[in-house]
Amino acid sequence: MAKRSQKARKAKSQVDDFVVVTMAADAEQAREYQTLLKNNDIPATIREQDQESLEGDGIAVMVPEEYIDEAHVVIESQDAYDDFYDFAMEEDEDGDDFDSDVFGDDF
């Protein structure tokens, strides 16, 4: 039984070495961030925050402290990539097609 408590303490200390890199709005977004980080060789875990937490509601995406800077870069790069394609899709939905101005009635 002593081994079990040592194992539990070791697991808790390993998670305690993790820091929050971002807060996700829902479990699906948290899993996407976790997968993105793991695909970039960054260990990641997720932890749902309770109502009384000082960090607020949501799901924390956590990485070891030594990976925090790299994790921020990976997440910010992905968010910028997503924003770019969201913007491009909005333009197409509005009917503002890139080619429409180039090939006007004058030709």
- The CATH number given to whatever domain includes residue 42 is 3.30.70.1530
**In a domain? residue 1:** no
In a domain, 48, yes or no: yes
> Which pLDDT band, with edges at 50, 70 and 90, does 92 fall under?
low
* Domain with 23 in it: 18-94
pTM as predicted: 0.61
Establish if 36 belongs to a structural domain.
yes
Look at residue 37 and tell me if it is in a domain. yes
Tens-place pLDDT, residues 31-71: 999 999 999 999 999 998 665 555 556 899 999 999 999 99
| Mean pLDDT for the chain overall | 76
| Structural domain total, the chain | 1
Strand partners, 61: 22, 46
Backbone angles phi, psi at 52, to 5 degrees: -90, 5
Report the chain's C-alpha Rg in angstroms. Answer: 21
Assigned token pair, 78:
């992905």
Residue 8 lies in a domain: no
Residue 73: inside a domain: yes
H or E element in which residue 24 lies:
strand 18-24
